[in-house]
Amino acid sequence: MPVHLYWGDDEAARTRAVEALVERLVDPAWAQVNLSRLDGGDTGQAAQALEEARTPPLGAGARVVLLQRSPFCAVCPAELASRLEASLGLIPPDGHLVLVSPGKPDARLRTTKALRAVAEERSFVLPAVWDGEGLLELVRRTAGELGVRLEPAAAEALSEAIGSDSARLASELEKLALFGGGAPIGMEAVEALVGGRATSALAVGDALLARRPADAIALVDALLTANEPALRIVAALSGQIRGWLWVSLLEASGERDVAVIAKAAGIGNPKRIYVLRRQIQGRPAAQLLRLLAQVLEVEAALKRGTAPADAFRDGFLLGADGHR
């Protein structure tokens, strides 16, 4: 397949896949003439990529034209879109056009439709921070790509310690592989080299749900000290609390089908609903609404320029009385 469409916000996994493709296709002795790395943020370079992709390789191996920040599945000038459509059928069998972008292709665009008709498409999407099964699958998939064997307990410990930080996950797995010397990695190795289970935004949400604002503030302080962006913490908390609220409201209305609840709540794995049910058991929807209001107040304070530690402290403590 001469056209490759790679997209998604998991930059580390996306980069590994691109470099593996380049390594497989390009002869190292001819890489200087047969490998082009261009930036689609520049319209001129995007047009150049289309021209170069139509040129057969020199010497051994294939020609690869790699276009980062590809514009063809997002905002694309009409002239450039026409050039793409004219070029797709002219790429030689031993030429490869690799289009890379962090965003999901816009299925409504004619360029996206044209590419999907001929391209090998791969997505690299990070799971949400509250998606435990998705985070665990990220660990398993990355370990498989890197050839690292993990015991089940070690995989779970890594998913809880690292979350959706794909670049750090790859780094830690490489470190564990050197430590293990080819043997399966156990939980003891993870605890020794990676450390205990890291504070996460989900732990902050759990503390708020349990009406422990002081613990929630301490957890947030630890996250901020570790350079976690404040708005990312807010986004994770908002998603977590909205998931609880959806489950609570739908079950109160009589809905019991976990697939229906998961779809309404935007949760990819219906099995996650069983976990959410246990978490909110005995918690009224009104409490969840108050929690969501607290988090939204924190977000508003951050966007007004309040220091992150102060924004979280004020938001959590001022709403604490309403929880009693």
pLDDT in tens, 73-112: 988 899 999 999 999 999 999 999 999 999 999 999 999 9
**CATH level 2 (architecture), domain 132-193:** Orthogonal Bundle (1.10)
pTM above 0.85, yes or no: no
The predicted-structure confidence for 99-146, as pLDDT tens digits, reads as follows 999 999 999 999 999 999 999 999 999 887 667 788 889 999 999 999
* Residue 269 confidence class, pLDDT cut points 50, 70, 90: low
Q: Which two tokens stand for residue 314?
A: 């004020």
pLDDT at 324 over 50: no
- Which pair of structure tokens corresponds to residue 140? 């398993």
Are residues 285 and 209 in contact, defined by beta-carbon separation less than 8 angstroms? no
CB 175 within 8 A of CB 161: no
Q: What is the pLDDT of residue 130?
A: 66
Decide if domain 3-123 falls under CATH 3.40.470.10. Answer: no
Report, at the CATH architecture level, how domain 201-323 is classified. Up-down Bundle (1.20)
**Residue 237 parent element (H or E):** helix 230-252
Angstrom distance (rounded) from CA 26 to CA 247? 51
Confidence label for 198 from pLDDT (cuts 50, 70 and 90): very low
Q: Which part of the chain has CATH 3.40.50.300? A: 3-123
Region(s) of the chain under CATH 1.10.8.60:
132-193
Q: What is the pLDDT of residue 225?
A: 86
pLDDT at 129: 67
- Mean pLDDT in residue range 147-153: 91
Mean pLDDT of the chain: 88
